[in-house]
């Protein structure tokens, strides 16, 4: 068996002692090609320290070999030895054939380091050297996509598609669709998703197509794609929430609720699914199930304000004052003091005839709910019942401005003043 094949066999069989012994033999071998192939193989399987030793030895023999510098730099970056890697890469001269490749590796490094503009500069320099090389243009498009320049990325991917349908295992139609969708150009993305689906109906592409269809108002098309996706991969959890939304938009509330329940059977740790199920349970006349779903969402995230607000709203609708007050008080004890819950506390205390606390939370809520006519009306009536006409007039004046078509408040002001 050839040396490299034997090394791979030891790796696959987990015979690490034999592998290490063979690596020592390879290190001592005068055959530079075998040492290079072994270093590549070890790097591919994650034996980075061993690969680095071989690359280091080869560089001692051939210190000016640019490709070796690039290969070792890649391994060093994975090992966290960025400074040494950068020294190797920056030692490659612009007149060397591998200079453009070194620029792409540098771009990868700067991108991972969060230095997007520097990364793009390196790629653009490489593109200037190899303007017709699809791989270089692809690297630039990837950076544009990653940095949020979606329209530019889509245009460049489309340009690359004229000479290549796939680069580095990535279909260009996928990337064009992804770039358009990321920039909210959903209708433009759809034909590219369709083209990708003609090649392979993979879960990710189906979901992307379904989402773009949903955003384009093509709810039935979204439903069809998501149903197929669930058949292919029932554990693709994101599909359930989107399918439920599409079904609701298509007027199929009952089917949407069943979809959410199906999703929750597979993923009991998705707070957003529980929230959606809770809201839809309310809409479809299932208050007990709604309460259960909302409580599950809050159990997963005790500070999940949207679920807390929905549960408070459910309690308020049923005038379940004790539950509102207990929940509100417990949240405040835990340091969660959200002004969006003040109206519920005010209404509950008022119904319980605890007027001082009701007034306290009406006043606290007033600062945030000055544009909420329903709240202002309740506050005004409360103040009038309490005989606080001066403050009531302030609230009613604001209310009359918000709802000028309601004559009772303007009439009240005219008669009072």
Q: How far apart (Å, rounded) are the C-alpha atoms in residues 273 and 279?
A: 10
φ and ψ of 170, to 5 deg: -110, 125
Looking at residue 192, its pLDDT comes to: 96
Q: Structural domain boundaries of the chain?
A: 132-200
Sequence-distant (≥ 6) Cβ neighbours of residue 253 within 8 angstroms: 247, 280, 283, 284
Compute the C-alpha angle 196/145/178, nearest 5°.
25
Q: Are 92 and 98 in contact (CB under 8 A)?
A: yes
Looking at residue 409, its pLDDT comes to: 77
Per-residue pLDDT of the chain (417 residues; tens, 9 = 90+): 488 999 999 899 898 999 999 999 898 888 899 999 999 999 999 999 999 999 999 999 899 899 999 999 999 998 989 889 999 999 999 988 888 889 988 888 888 888 888 888 888 889 888 888 888 889 889 989 988 999 999 999 999 998 888 888 889 999 999 999 999 999 999 999 999 999 999 999 999 999 999 999 999 999 999 999 999 999 999 999 999 999 999 999 999 999 999 999 999 999 999 999 999 999 999 999 999 999 999 999 999 999 999 999 999 999 999 999 999 999 999 999 999 999 999 999 999 999 999 999 999 999 999 999 999 999 999 999 999 988 999 998 898 888 887 777 777 776 664
What's this model's pTM, rounded to 2 decimal places? 0.76
Domain 132-200 annotated CATH 1.10.1220: no
Looking at residue 416, its pLDDT comes to: 62
320 SS3 class: coil
Q: How far apart (Å, rounded) are the C-alpha atoms in residues 346 and 323?
A: 13
Q: What is the DSSP string of 279-318?
A: HHHHHTT-HHHHHHHHHHHHHH-TT-HHHHHHHHHHHHHT
């Amino acid at each position: 068996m050839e040396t490299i094949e034997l090394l791979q066999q030891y790796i696959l069989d987990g015979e690490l002692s034999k592998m290490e012994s063979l690596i020592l033999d390879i290190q001592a071998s005068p055959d530079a090609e075998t040492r290079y192939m072994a270093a590549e193989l070890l790097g591919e399987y994650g034996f980075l320290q061993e690969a680095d030793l071989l690359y280091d030895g080869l560089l001692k023999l051939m210190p000016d070999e640019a490709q070796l510098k690039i290969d070792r730099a890649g391994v060093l970056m994975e090992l966290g030895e960025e400074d040494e890697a950068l020294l190797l890469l920056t030692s490659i001269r612009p007149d060397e054939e591998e200079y453009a490749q070194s620029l792409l590796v540098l771009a990868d490094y700067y991108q991972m380091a969060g230095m997007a503009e520097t990364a793009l500069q390196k790629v653009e320099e490489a593109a200037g050297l190899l303007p017709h090389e699809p791989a270089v243009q692809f690297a630039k498009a990837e950076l544009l996509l990653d940095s949020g320049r979606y329209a530019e990325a889509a245009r460049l991917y489309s340009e690359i598609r004229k000479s290549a349908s796939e680069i580095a295992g990535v279909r260009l139609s996928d990337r064009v669709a992804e770039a358009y969708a990321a920039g909210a150009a959903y209708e433009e993305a759809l034909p590219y998703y369709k083209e990708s689906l003609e090649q392979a109906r993979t879960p990710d592409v189906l979901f992307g197509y379904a989402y773009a269809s949903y955003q384009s108002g093509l709810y039935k098309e979204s439903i069809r794609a998501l149903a197929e996706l669930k058949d292919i991969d029932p554990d693709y959890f994101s599909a359930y929430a989107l399918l439920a939304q599409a079904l609701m938009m298509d007027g199929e509330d009952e089917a949407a609720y069943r979809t959410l329940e199906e999703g929750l059977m597979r993923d009991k740790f998705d707070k957003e699914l529980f929230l959606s199920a809770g809201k839809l349970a309310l809409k479809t006349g299932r208050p007990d199930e709604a309460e259960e779903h909302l409580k599950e969402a809050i159990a997963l995230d005790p500070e999940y304000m949207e679920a807390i607000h929905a549960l408070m709203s459910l309690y308020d609708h049923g005038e379940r004052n004790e539950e509102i007050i207990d929940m509100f008080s417990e949240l405040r004890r835990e340091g969660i003091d959200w002004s969006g819950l003040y109206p519920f506390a005010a209404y509950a205390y008022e119904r319980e005839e605890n007027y001082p606390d009701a007034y306290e939370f009406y006043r606290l809520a007033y600062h945030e709910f000055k544009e909420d006519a329903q709240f202002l009306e309740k506050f005004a009536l409360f103040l009038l019942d309490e005989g606080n006409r001066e403050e009531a007039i302030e609230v009613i004046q604001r209310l009359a401005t918000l709802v000028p078509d309601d004559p009772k408040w303007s009439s009240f002001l005219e008669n009072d003043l």
